[in-house]
Structure formats: C-alpha cells, structure tokens
Amino acid sequence: MGAIKLFGKHTKSVVSIIAVFTAICAALIAWRARAAPRTDQWWALAALQVLEGPDEVWVFTRAEKHVRVPDRLASPNIRTLATRQVVVVLDRDGLRDSFECANAPSFNTHIGTVFDYRGQHYIYTGGSMASEARLFVWAGRRFQQLGEADAGKLMNTLGIRNVVRREIKGSLDRSSSRERWHRVFADNLPGDFDVSCAQVGIRIWRGGGSRQWTVLAAPIAHDPNWVATILRPE
C-alpha cells in the first residue's frame, strides 16, 4: 500500500519523465530519417586472379554486392549483401567455358592463392593463426577440397608445410612456372587494369565506370575477331 501511495504521490513527475523521453525518441527518429541518405546498393569487383598457361587462360573473379546502411549510428555503414564468384576459361578463339563457383573458397588474394601442379589447378587457403591450411583441386566444374592425408602429402611435395605464410605464395607461383603456368595478375578491389597474357595472346581489362563496370577479354592483336565478357554486375 505504501508503494502505491508513493507512486500516486509522484504521478505527475513520472508522467512528465515519460513524456520527455517519448519526445526525445521521436526527435531522434526524425533526425535519423532526415539525415540518412537513400538506401544505395551496388556490385563491386572485389578480386581478380589470372592464371595463364601455354594454350589457355583461366580467370578467377569475385564480385560483392554492397549496401550503404541509411543510419549514421551504424558501424560500418557499408555492408556486403551477397557475393558472386566466376571462373572463366579463355583460349585463342575466345571464351571457352564459364563456371559459377558460389561454394568455392574465396578468390580474395589474402585468403586463396590459385596455382597449377602437374596440369591441375588448385587453390591454397588459410595457413594463418586463425584458420587451418586447406587445398582445393579443380574437379571438372568446381573446386573440391582435398582430404587431410592428400593435402598433407601435396603440401610436403610443394615444400609449404610449416612455412611462414608470406613465403607460401612464392612457392606456389614457382610450382606453376615449372608447369609453364603463370599467375600474371592477382589483386583485391582492382580498379582499372589491363593484363596482357603474352603466351596465349589475350588481353584482359576492366571497362566502364566505378559501378557500371565490365571485365572484358580480347586478342592482343589490333584487329580482334572476338570480344568476351567475363563478368559484369547483375
């Protein structure tokens, strides 16, 4: 009864506090609505690796769909909504094959390194304190993870077992070179680029603007008889 009487005694103060709190919340919501930019979504080219062999070129691309969160209080205010990874095979006659690789390891060069060993393409991932080293082999239309025993045996053969991470990429690139394959380009968030694959005679470049971009390929010759679209925003 005492608590009820006490609450009744201060009813006006409680109502005033609630009213002030409600007004502040309404003002904050209105400020955020006025200050926030419109919701903005776009596809960005996030990573590109190019592996060139004697007769063909393999291009590993990664795109990410970003959204700008309309909220000044959100951090970060740009987030990734979706990703798309595509592997494209080119030869002197043009685009030969294209594969969607949604479940493949990331083509981000900080995560995955593409290389060739005895005519087969692989991706090496991890090997940092936060993740275990893994190997994936190209199996027809997708990458397939090697079992622990096979991966360990291949890492021993390549000399990358218990090797510091900064030296592993060099070892994998040397493995590719012995098979006459070369990783001629590898970059994250590439801007404008123009890659010449001299062995096969193919040029790869980025056309368009920052958001309406397209990754294209054509013969290096001045009068190309084909132009292939490798990747463009959806």
Paired residues of 182 in beta bridges: 52
Per-residue pLDDT tens over the stretch 179-223: 999 999 999 989 899 999 999 999 999 999 888 899 999 999 878
Lowest mean pLDDT across 47-51, 163-167, 207-211, 225-229: 163-167
What residues contact residue 144 under an 8 Å CB cut-off, 6+ apart? 136, 137, 138
Work out the burial of residue 119: count CB atoms within 10 Å of its CB; fewer than 13 is exposed, 13-18 middle, 19 or more buried: exposed
Per-residue pLDDT tens over the stretch 104-146: 999 999 999 999 999 999 999 985 555 688 999 999 999 999 9
